């Protein structure tokens, strides 16, 4: 079933509706996200199911997957990330244009999961900032969709100036990205 988007806050009357630029841009961005699936193992298979007809991620305006970081604004990390893979993931993140968001899908991406070993990164937030964590090993497609909807809320409500704020610059500096 198609998703009906709620109207943003604003003033309406007969034949007109007015809202702020932030809200209009946020609404457009939230419903035209281009995800980059960074899938390394089993959680990636759940994502494939999420893209299928049964769960139909396309109804969120997300049917266009991007395998090029420069044409993506949502990095979805799904699977075990080895420490050797950390710099690659970081480079992909850096190559994405602002504004960009990140979901850690599943226990491995969020915390290393069951792989508490010398070779596995204990969470992707050791190398890049994360906006939403989806728990589960693996998470079901419904959980992945829930994570996507949480991202949509963040996107809709993000002030246009956030990416230029000292707080955001400080966050990037912490990851030695700025």
Question: Helix or strand or coil: residue 112?
Answer: coil
CB nearer to ligand SF4: pick between 30 and 76: 76
- Residue 136 Cβ vs ligand SF4, minimum distance, rounded to whole Å: 7
List of residues contacting ligand SF4 (CB under 6 A): 41-43, 79-80, 106-108, 113, 137-138
Residue nearer to ligand SF4 on the CB measure, 108 or 128: 108
- Least spacing, CB of residue 156 vs ligand SF4, in Å: 28
Q: Which residues are CB-neighbours of 61 under 8 A, at least 6 positions away? A: 31, 32, 33
Please state, in angstroms and rounded to a whole number, the distance separating the CA atoms of residues 121 and 83.
Answer: 5
Tokens describing residue 114: 């069951």
DSSP letters along 120-155, please? B-S-GGGTS--SEEE-SSSPPHHHHHHHHHHHHHHH
Closer residue to ligand SF4, CB minimum distance, 120 or 177: 120
Least gap, CB of 163 to ligand SF4 (angstroms): 30
CB 143, min distance to ligand SF4, A:
11
């Amino acid at each position: 079933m198609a998703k009906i988007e709620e109207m943003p806050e604003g003033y309406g009357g007969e034949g007109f509706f007015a809202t702020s630029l932030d809200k209009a841009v946020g609404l457009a961005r939230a419903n035209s996200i281009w995800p980059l699936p960074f899938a390394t193992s089993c959680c990636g298979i759940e994502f494939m199911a999420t893209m299928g007809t049964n769960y139909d991620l396309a109804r969120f305006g997300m049917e266009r997957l991007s395998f090029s970081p420069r044409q993506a604004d949502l990095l979805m990390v799904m699977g075990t990330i080895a420490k050797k893979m950390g710099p690659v993931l970081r480079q992909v993140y850096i190559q994405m244009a602002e504004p960009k968001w990140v979901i850690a899908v599943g226990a491995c991406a969020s915390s290393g999961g069951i792989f508490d070993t010398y070779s596995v990164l204990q969470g992707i937030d050791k190398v890049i900032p994360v906006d939403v964590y989806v728990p589960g090993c693996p998470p079901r497609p419904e959980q992945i969709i829930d994570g996507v909807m949480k991202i949509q809320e963040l996107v809709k409500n993000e002030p246009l100036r956030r990416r230029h704020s000292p707080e955001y610059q400080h966050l990037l500096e912490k990851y030695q990205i700025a």
